[in-house]
Amino acid sequence: MTRSKIVGFERELPEFTADNFDLSKIVDTSDEWITSRTGISRRHISTEQNTSDLCIAAAERLLKKAGWEPETVDLVIVGTVTPDYQTPSTACLVQAALNLENAFCFDLSAACSGFIYSLSAADKFIKAGGVKRAVVLGGETLSKITDWSDRSTCVLFGDGAGGVLLEATEEECGILFEDIHSDGKKGEALTAGYRENRNPYFKGEPHGGKFIEMNGREVFTFATRKVPESIKHVLETTNTSPDDIKYVVLHQANTRINEVIARKLKMPHEKFYSNIERTGNTSGGSVPIALADMESEGLLEKGDKIIISGFGGGLTWATMLIEL
Ligand code: UT7
């Protein structure tokens, strides 16, 4: 059976960082509130780069490290809700910058689950046989859709991108199983980027909603209910004991969410990798950035079984069991 093997992890973060003290000069907040409620101390914020720049830098390093020639890439997917343009897609901008002339390319919108949805889509193309090599990225410049006067959201988010290469294999490794869901009826709990219709015939009222708006408590309750259910489903269906899982890499939204999920799964908290302290919530970027950080910290080894899980806007949530 053809599977999708994961070849390398990379990430790119803007150079500039703002810590909680910096933000307390912009809005009425404190380091104490932000760290105790979220676990975040600082976040990277773009001063020049757009989403495509971050994605291109990560993809370029991935290809170089793996020694893949540009023309051997068949597919590029970018999970993002902050593309540079609506068209061309961020994935097409990556293609152009890196001369991936034989690839077909598209962006995928699933907010904080965007990278795992993108992995899932790429895995299906590989299993269907038409694609042998794919570049899968998750990247955001959330700072451009953040309301910098709203303390309840602007302290949470950061910019950054990460990604992996996927390659068709007949080995029993890579993406082993997934559980993937949406609940559009709860979408109003987390919205961003509404685009007003300004045609000369339009009679509707202005809508608002350009910037991120979130009912934090509702999203917290959703995440701590649905994610453990999803992880349990993946473990049970694949007959995998929690002891066989080396790490659980959740979307980095809040350390308190990690703690509740670890408790519900009765898994040691140390298995839940976290880098949110230094990155904030980077939405579609968070899981691949965490994986790249883990690799550079020497935490990942061939044969490791890892759970990755994203949750957020849509609402969407998605869990994967992967073997390195
Ligand atoms: O990435 C997509 C997925 N997103 C998530 O998973 C986020 C899930 N939600 C959360 O992580 C948490 O709900 C938040 C971190 C967003 C908020 O924490 P909370 O404990 O739910 O706080 P809250 O929104 O209930 O606000 C509590 C209080 C309020 O004041 P009052 O009404 O109690 O007087 C807020 O006005 O904290 C106030 N507050 C702040 N105070 C200082 C809200 N933001 C701030 C702030 N600094 N930055």
* Ligand 1 neighbour 38 (Cβ under 6 A): yes
CB 312 within 8 A of CB 111: yes
Q: Are 230 and 317 in contact (CB under 8 A)?
A: yes
Three-class SS state of 180: strand
Q: pTM (2 decimals)?
A: 0.97
Other C-beta atoms lying within 10 Å of the C-beta of residue 148: 12
210 CA to middle of ligand 1, Å? 20
Q: What is the pLDDT along the chain (324 residues), one digit of tens a residue?
A: 999 999 999 999 999 999 999 999 999 999 999 999 999 999 999 999 999 999 999 999 999 999 999 999 999 999 999 999 999 999 999 999 999 999 999 999 999 999 999 999 999 999 999 999 999 999 999 999 999 999 999 999 999 999 999 999 999 999 999 999 999 999 999 999 999 999 999 999 999 999 999 999 999 999 999 999 999 999 999 999 999 999 999 999 999 999 999 999 999 999 999 999 999 999 999 999 999 999 999 999 999 999 999 999 999 999 999 999
- Residue ID of nearest Cα to ligand 1 atom 36: 152
- Calculate how far, in angstroms, residue 162's C-alpha sits from the geometric centre of ligand 1: 27
